[in-house]
C-alpha cells in the first residue's frame, strides 16, 4: 500500500519516506522486550501465589522443635499405638513424611507417628560434622527426650542411610525397618543433579518445575509409565511432589547434604550388621536404581524383598505397598 503525505509548503502530495532499517529493528526489539516483561510479570505473579500457598501449607502443620546436642530437631508426634519413626527423602521435611504415610500406611492401622525433619530441612539444624550415622544418633536422642522405647523405622529414598544406621547402632530400639525406594549400593554412576542455585532459590526451582516437568519425571519414572500417565496423575505429581517441595530454599542445606554426603555414603554402610527384621520395597523399573533392592536384600540377613513397578514413586502401587507393610507389622507386633 502506497502512503502519501501532503506537503503544505509546496502545495502538493508527496510520497512518505520509507522507515529506516534501524527504526524497524528498534520497533521489533521494543515489542519483544514488552512481551518478555509481560511474560515475566505474569510468571512472577504466579510464583508469588504458589510460594505463598506453600508457606501457608507449612504453617498449618503443627510441629515442635527439640534443642538437641546436634542442634534443633523439628518433629511432630501424633496418634496412639506402636510408634513409627518416619524418615523422609530428599527435598522433604515433615510435610513429605505426612504425604508418605498418607499414601503408603493403611488408614485402618493404628499407630503413633513420629515425623521429623532431617538435618538441614525446614526448622532442623545442619551440624558441622553431619553424616547419616550422626543423624541416627540424633533420632536416638529425640526418642529418649520423648520417652519412646521402641520404634518401627520407615525410611524413604535419601532417608534410607540414616534409617539403616539407626537399625545397626540401636537394634534394641528398633522393632523393624521398612525401606521404601531407599537409597542403596549401586554399580551405576551417580545421577546428574541440578546446580545448587536451583535449590537455594525458590523462583529458579519453581521455574524449572514449570518449564521442565517431563524432564524431572524422566529422572524418576520409566519411559513407558511416563507416557501412560493420565493428566490427573501428571498434575498430582507436579503439585504434590515437585511443587510440594516449596519453599525449597528452606530445605537447601538438607538437599545438598543428602546429595554430597549422606546418600553417597550408603556404599560404606555395613548392611550385614542389620539384624532386625527388614522389609525392602523397591521398584525394579526405577530409572536410576534398578538393582538397589536386590543389593540390599542380598546383604541384609533378616530381610524380605518385594520387587515392584511404578518408578521411584511406586506409582499405582499404593495398595500393594499398604498390604505388604500391614503384613510386616502383623508378623512383628
Could you state, in order of their start, the residue ranges of all structural domains in the chain?
4-56, 64-331
Candidates 3.40.50.300, 3.40.50.2000, 3.40.50.1820, 3.50.50.60; correct CATH number of 64-331? 3.40.50.1820
pLDDT at residue number 6: 46
Question: What is d(CA 144, CA 45) in angstroms, rounded to the nearest whole number?
Answer: 46
Question: What is d(CA 210, CA 213) in angstroms, rounded to the nearest whole number?
Answer: 6
pTM more than 0.75: yes
Residues 6+ apart with CB under 8 A from 79: 110, 111, 112, 113
Task: State CA 23 to chain mean position distance.
Answer: 50
Question: What is d(CA 197, CA 157) in angstroms, rounded to the nearest whole number?
Answer: 22
Find the angle CA(236)-CA(311)-CA(47) to the nearest 5 degrees: 35
If we measure between CA atoms, which residue out of 104, 128, 132, 101 comes closest to residue 118? 132
Kindly give the confidence (pLDDT) of every residue in the chain, 333 residues in length, as a single tens digit, with 9 standing for 90 and above: 444 444 555 555 555 566 667 766 766 666 667 666 666 666 778 999 999 999 999 999 999 999 999 999 999 999 999 999 999 999 999 999 999 999 999 776 789 999 999 999 999 999 999 999 999 999 999 999 999 999 999 999 999 999 999 999 999 999 999 999 999 998 776 666 778 888 999 999 999 999 999 988 988 999 999 999 999 999 999 999 999 999 999 999 999 999 999 999 999 999 999 999 999 999 999 987 778 999 999 999 999 999 999 999 999 999 999 999 999 999 987
73 three-state secondary structure? strand
H or E, element range at 309:
none
Amino acid at each position: 500500500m502506497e502512503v502519501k503525505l501532503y506537503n503544505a509548503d509546496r502545495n502538493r502530495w508527496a510520497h512518505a519516506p520509507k522507515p529506516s532499517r534501524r527504526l524497524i529493528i528498534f520497533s521489533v526489539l521494543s515489542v519483544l522486550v514488552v512481551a518478555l516483561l509481560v511474560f515475566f510479570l505474569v510468571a512472577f505473579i504466579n510464583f508469588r501465589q504458589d510460594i505463598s500457598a506453600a508457606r501457608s501449607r507449612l504453617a498449618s502443620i503443627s510441629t515442635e522443635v527439640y534443642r538437641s546436642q546436634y542442634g534443633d530437631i523439628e518433629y511432630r508426634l501424633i496418634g496412639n499405638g506402636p510408634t513409627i519413626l518416619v524418615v523422609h527423602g530428599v527435598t522433604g521435611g515433615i510435610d513429605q513424611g505426612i504425604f508418605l504415610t498418607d499414601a503408603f500406611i493403611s488408614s485402618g492401622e493404628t499407630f503413633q507417628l513420629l515425623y521429623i525433619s532431617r538435618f538441614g530441612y525446614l526448622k532442623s539444624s545442619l551440624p558441622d560434622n553431619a553424616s547419616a550415622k550422626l543423624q541416627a544418633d540424633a533420632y536416638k536422642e529425640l526418642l529418649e527426650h520423648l520417652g519412646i522405647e521402641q520404634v518401627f523405622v520407615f525410611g524413604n529414598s535419601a532417608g534410607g542411610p540414616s534409617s539403616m544406621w539407626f537399625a545397626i547402632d540401636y537394634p534394641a530400639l528398633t522393632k523393624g525397618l521398612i525401606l521404601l525406594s531407599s537409597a542403596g549400593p549401586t554399580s551405576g554412576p551417580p545421577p546428574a543433579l541440578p546446580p545448587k542455585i536451583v535449590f537455594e532459590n525458590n523462583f529458579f526451582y519453581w521455574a524449572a518445575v514449570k518449564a521442565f516437568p517431563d524432564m524431572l519425571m524422566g529422572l524418576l519414572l520409566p519411559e513407558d509409565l511416563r507416557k501412560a500417565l493420565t493428566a490427573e496423575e501428571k498434575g498430582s505429581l507436579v503439585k504434590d511432589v515437585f511443587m510440594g517441595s516449596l519453599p525449597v530454599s528452606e530445605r537447601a542445606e538438607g538437599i545438598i547434604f543428602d546429595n554430597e554426603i549422606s546418600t553417597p555414603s550408603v556404599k560404606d554402610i555395613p548392611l550385614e550388621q542389620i539384624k532386625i527384621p527388614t522389609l525392602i520395597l523397591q521398584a525394579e523399573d526405577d530409572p536410576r536404581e534398578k538393582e538397589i533392592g536386590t543389593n540390599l536384600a542380598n546383604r541384609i540377613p533378616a530381610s524380605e524383598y518385594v520387587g515392584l513397578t511404578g518408578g521411584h514413586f511406586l506409582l499405582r502401587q499404593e495398595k500393594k505397598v499398604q498390604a505388604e507393610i500391614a503384613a510386616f507389622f502383623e508378623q512383628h507386633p
